Every structure is written in C-alpha cells, then in structure tokens.
Amino acid sequence: MCDPVSLTIAATAAATVGTGFSALQANAQNRYQAQVADQNAKLANEAAKREEENTRDAALQHYRKVGALKGQQRVAMAAGGLDVNFGNAAELTADTDMLANEDVRRIYDQGAENVLGRNIESNNYRSQAKASRQAATGALVKGVFDVGSTALGGAKQYDALKRKGY
C-alpha cells in the first residue's frame, strides 16, 4: 500500500491533468460550435440572395402574364370593334395595369420580408459564433484557474500530511 503522501501527490496530479483536459475539451467544443454557426450564417446569407433572385423572377413572370393578358384583352376588344385607346376599353387596360402594379408590389414586399428574415437569421448565427468563441476562451481561462486550484488543494493536503509526519 502506498503512503498517504504519495497518494495525495498522485491524486493531485491526476485531478490536475483531468481538469486541464476538460478545459481543452470545452474549448474545442465551443470552437466547433462557432464554426458551425459561421457556416450557418453563410448559408443564411446565400438563402437571402436566392430569395432576392426568386423575387425578381416572380415579378418578371408576373409582368409576362400581365402582358399576355393585356394582349388578349386588346385582341378581344379589337375583334368586337372597340377602340382600345378610348372609353371602357382604355379604362380596362388602365385597371389591368393598376392591379398588376399592386400585385408586383406585393411580390416585392413579400420578397423583402423573406430576405429580412434570412438576414436576421444570419445575424443571429454570427452572434452565436461570437458567443461560442468567447465561451471557448472562457473555458480555457476557467481551466487555468481550476488547474491552479486543484494543484493548490493538493499542495495543502500534502503540507498537512507532512506536518503530521508522513
């Protein structure tokens, strides 16, 4: 059987190494979480750009549909012998333009809301990455103090045993 002094030294060394290892593991885990959050922020930015492109495409598609509708209206009115630039025919064309503009405004407003949501998501991920990096640093600092505290506790026990004559 080992003497109490040797056991105290061995236990202190093991506890100190374990504490240091735990600090390094916590640091590594937080750095990994920061990397994941950075990647998620990048993906959210890309999604925001895609959303802008999709919004423009939806507006263009709507303009094309409206153009086709206006063409059909003109053909129908001309076939009926109406002057498309005067009276009810002109009002119908103006109403079609007004409704088309309202629809496009809604398309762009919805797209802007979606982009805003993606930008907020990206900012949240960047904040999470920053917090994880700070936590990684904090884990190392805490680990240093915990290692020191463990070593000092072991030294105190060692001193007490030495005073008792072991």
Please write the tens of the pLDDT for every residue from 82-133: 888 888 889 999 999 999 999 999 999 999 999 999 999 999 999 999 999 9
- The pLDDT assigned to 47 comes to 98
More confidently predicted of 161 and 38 = 38
140 domain-assigned:
yes
**Boundaries of domain holding 13:** 4-160
Q: Which residue has the tokens 């405004």?
A: 105
For the chain, how many structural domains are there in total?
1
Q: CB under 8 Å to 151, separation ≥6 — which residues?
A: 12, 16
The structure tokens listed for 125 are: 């991920």
pLDDT at 163 over 80: yes
H-assigned helices in 80-166? 87-163
Q: Report if residue 20 sits inside a domain.
A: yes
Residue 110 within a domain: yes
Give buried/exposed letters for 66-91 (b at 16+ CB in 10 A, else e).
Answer: beeebeeebeebeeeebebeeeebee
Residue 1 has pLDDT above 70, yes or no: no
Q: 165 lies in a domain?
A: no
Residue 21 lies in a domain: yes
Locate 71 and state its tokens: 């063409």
Is the residue at 166 inside a domain? no
Residue 77 falls inside a structural domain: yes
Residue 7 has pLDDT above 90, yes or no: no
